[in-house]
Structure 1
Amino acid sequence: MDLIGFLPSFGNFFYTIAAFVVVLSVIVAVHEYGHYIVGRWSGIHADVFSIGFGPVLASRKDRRGTVWQIAAIPLGGYVKFAGDADAASGKDADALSTMNDSARRRTMHGAPLWARSATVAAGPLFNFIFSFFVFAALMMVQGVAVDEPIVGEITPLPAQPFELQQGDRILAVEGVETATLGDFLSAAETLPAQAELNYRVDRDGRVLQVTGPHPQPPLAGSVAMQSAAREARMQPGDVITAIDGTPIATFRELRELVADSAGGALELTVWRNGDVVDLTLVPRSTDLPLPDGGFETRYLIGLTSGAVFEYATQTPSVVDAATMAATQIWRVLRTSVEGLYYMVLGQISTCNLSSPIGIAEASAAMASDGVFELVWFIAILSVAIGFLNLFPIPPLDGGHLVFYAYEAVMRRPASDRAVRVLMAIGLSLVLTLFAFALFTDLTC
């Protein structure tokens, strides 16, 4: 056995697991803290707050009598409230029968309906609130592009040097007026497919004719997780100069050649920091959400176009950041609902489902891309997990809320027998979905 050759793989595996544990632990902690704190405010006592399942690795009891613990299996967590028989909030009938009214009020099963409903709903709600503040904070830290085509630091490209300089305000490219940054970017679709173009710029009050790069060269801005480009080890900043020996100068040409490949292997010539690298990629059939709803299936390699220069940015107002954060949450929720709907109809692939394996790979990919990308991914996943927990399936939070809705309408709780049967059926459905997602991650 080649132990030295095995070490890099082992290191990657450890890195993937570590990233997965960090990502999932943050989301689980937020979710379970929502249950815990709203339960506490509602007068329900928590016996155990656990991150993970199985053997306890570390624990501490606080002054309220709640045990805070970290367990060995990092696939979730739970809050065990007083009167619960297990982590799924099953009723401990024997313990409840020996309690007086005051003690029963401090249990999940003896609390008023409003307190139980608020405590259960708080988990997903806290996931959404957490993501909202993370999105808003990242937008304020990162800033948003100013809608003016003012040149920042120019990205290294193989065709440099250009006469375009940092600080120039672009007035036109090849005669196409660019009053806004949007005009400059949209011009990329109609400009000649050349690496070097003619610019008219305002430089310190003087109007000059200079040369500059195409607004959208075949430059990798980001590399999508679980994509052909990431599998081939492409990196942000890579410039694709040729495909199957055919030179290209624009991202538009790259997109068209990938779309026409029908999934066939492509031989790419890549310029990377002055060096030339040859890579082979196989475009993957991918289901993409459309702006107006629905999905479109296309062949992709997992690259987004990089910026030819840094755009001037400004810090958005609190209101603007909050609006953009809410819009991002709505986009994740809508895409999730539409994805499930079209998968059930068979119109898009079930390969869009992810098990812990897929989430672990994505976590490692985002962690390798940087802190900003990792935190953004955590916020997106927090929305998705909050949404998943609202499914009306026991033992998910949505299933408990269905029981409480029944109790509110019928003026009596569902029978213990019915709850046990439905919990067993729901658990079977959840495990089946888990197994199916695991199967798709292993086979897709």
Structure 2
Amino acid sequence: MNELFSTLFGLDSLLVGTIVPFLFVLTVVVFVHEMGHYLVGRWCGIGVKAFSIGFGPEIFGFNDRHGTRWKLSAIPLGGYVKFVGDMNVTSTPDAEEAEKLTPAERHVAFHTQPVWKRAATVVAGPLFNFLLTIAVLATFFMTYGRVVSEPMIAEVQAGSPAEIAGFMPGDRFVSVNGSPVRTFADVQYHVSGRAGDPLVFVLLRDGKEVELTATPKVTEQKDAAGNTFRIGVIGVVNNNEVGQFRVIEYSVPGAVAEAVNETGRIIARTGQFLKRFAVGREDKCQLGGPIKIADMAGKAAKLGFERLVELIALLSVGIGFLNLLPIPPLDGGHLVFYGIEAVIRRPVSERMMEAVYRTGMILVLAFMAFVFWNDLFGC
């Protein structure tokens, strides 16, 4: 009996060790995203019919004094805010339902609002995801500071792209592809996502600048949680002797500024990855779905709550970025329609919107099927 209980409910069990951390991470990210839509929508005077964590049948819920149904639904892989006048959870308009609205409901219906209010409400979801990431990173920077090192080369690995290009121990990085670098981590940032791309490095050697070109090669590495990932490297090593490792301590404003900067770098890196992935230059196994995220959440939880919160920050910025892609029914798709409406000064025709939404939904479902396949069979 004890063995059965341990198997089902022990810290290393599938339920407690993986599923619970996964649901915690996903629920926080989804809740913050949908809360962005909800709060800005309410601020804009838009009526909200439902706020749901999850899809499908309701498990439990309650109505607030504004008439909004707050609920937890059976399929915990997302969430939604349904505004007055919406046809479905993707906030597509419903002409038939609009005709049934009372004058009071029509006044607060989503699709009767000025385009700027609709755009603000939609963009608030991804924006809140970014703010969550900034808040987490800023807290970490204020609490622990940040370990940095000088952008110096202590060792050049034999046979590496750096050796072939002529890098030498004692060289100091000045810039990578025109971007100035201040720390060795800056160099890693510019190199790690550019495997196979020739990069121009400016180095300081014996007081003179030297320009060299090297092409990062792909290598597999593991993080502290044991997750395997593939990055680009040129084969240089930094150590404490030449790198002079130190901890930077941040004030509150400094921590927030650094968190904003780091979030921007993550967003840029995500965009770079997707562009390279679209043209077949990234490994498909680097793209995972719920099963991979659940595995990462389980591994992070074993390392402690802070690692789990760090995963929340990374997932949040990723969810925010993906939702801004200009594909209906994602938030970015809505924003494209609102942009067109603002230019032509009238809403896009319902027939056109329906056709684009259907196409977009097919693309989104195909992407979801792809990452599920990757999770189960592809990698």
TM-score by structure 1 length?
A: 0.64
1:137-156 alpha-carbon deviations (Å, 9 max, x no partner): 111112334x8xxxxxxxxx
Q: Match of 2:77?
A: 75
Distance 1:303 1:28 in 2: 25
1:389 aligns with 2:323: yes
Tell me by how many angstroms 1:338 deviates. Answer: 1.1
Q: How does 1:25-424 map to 2 (within 5 A)?
A: 25-145=27-147, 182=149, 189=154, 290-291=190-191, 294-295=194-195, 296-302=216-222, 315-424=249-358
- Residue 13 of structure 2 aligns to a residue in which SS? helix
Distance 1:435 1:290 in 2: 31
Q: Does the 8 Å CA contact 1:258/1:299 hold for their aligned counterparts?
A: no
Tell me by how many angstroms 1:6 deviates. Answer: 10
Structure-2 change in CA distance of 1:292 and 1:18 (3 Å): closer
Tell me by how many angstroms 1:379 deviates. Answer: 0.7
1:340-398 alpha-carbon deviations (Å, 9 max, x no partner): 11112222211111111111111111111111111111111101100000011110000
Q: Does the 8 Å CA contact 1:343/1:349 hold for their aligned counterparts?
A: yes
Report the identity percentage. 40
Distance 1:329 1:354 in 2: 21
**Structure possessing the higher relative contact order (Cα contacts under 8 Å, 6 or more residues apart):** 2
Distance 2:297 2:131 in 1: 21
Distance 1:299 1:123 in 2: 35
Q: Does the 8 Å CA contact 1:140/1:315 hold for their aligned counterparts?
A: yes
Distance 1:117 1:21 in 2: 29
Tell me by how many angstroms 1:292 deviates. Answer: 8.4
Code of the aligned partner of 1:72: A
Structure-2 change in CA distance of 1:334 and 1:440 (3 Å): same
Distance 1:74 1:100 in 2: 33
Q: Does the 8 Å CA contact 2:84/2:105 hold for their aligned counterparts?
A: no
Tell me by how many angstroms 1:114 deviates. Answer: 1.2
Tell me by how many angstroms 1:294 deviates. Answer: 2.0
Tell me by how many angstroms 1:332 deviates. Answer: 1.0
Q: Does the 8 Å CA contact 2:85/2:101 hold for their aligned counterparts?
A: no
Distance 1:347 1:91 in 2: 39
Q: Does the 8 Å CA contact 1:125/1:386 hold for their aligned counterparts?
A: yes
CA RMSD for the aligned pairs? 3.1
Q: Does the 8 Å CA contact 2:85/2:97 hold for their aligned counterparts?
A: yes
Structure-2 change in CA distance of 1:256 and 1:378 (3 Å): farther
Code of the aligned partner of 1:44: I
Distance 2:246 2:352 in 1: 61
Code of the aligned partner of 2:131: I
Code of the aligned partner of 1:299: T
Distance 1:13 1:186 in 2: 44
Distance 1:352 1:12 in 2: 26
- Residue 96 of structure 1 aligns to a residue in which SS? helix
Q: Which moved more, 1:44-53 or 1:95-104?
A: 95-104
Q: Does the 8 Å CA contact 2:48/2:83 hold for their aligned counterparts?
A: yes
**Is there any run of 5+ residues in structure 2 with no aligned partner, and where?**
162-187, 196-215, 225-236
Distance 2:64 2:102 in 1: 24
Which structure: greater strand fraction?
1
The structure with the largest alpha-carbon Rg is: 1
Q: Does the 8 Å CA contact 2:142/2:250 hold for their aligned counterparts?
A: yes
Q: Does the 8 Å CA contact 2:6/2:13 hold for their aligned counterparts?
A: no
- Residue 109 of structure 1 aligns to a residue in which SS? helix
Structure-2 change in CA distance of 1:312 and 1:410 (3 Å): closer
Structure-2 change in CA distance of 1:405 and 1:301 (3 Å): closer
Structure-2 change in CA distance of 1:303 and 1:51 (3 Å): closer
Q: Does the 8 Å CA contact 1:138/1:372 hold for their aligned counterparts?
A: no
**Is there any run of 5+ residues in structure 1 with no aligned partner, and where?**
148-181, 191-251, 260-287
TM-score by structure 2 length?
A: 0.74
Structure-2 change in CA distance of 1:312 and 1:335 (3 Å): closer
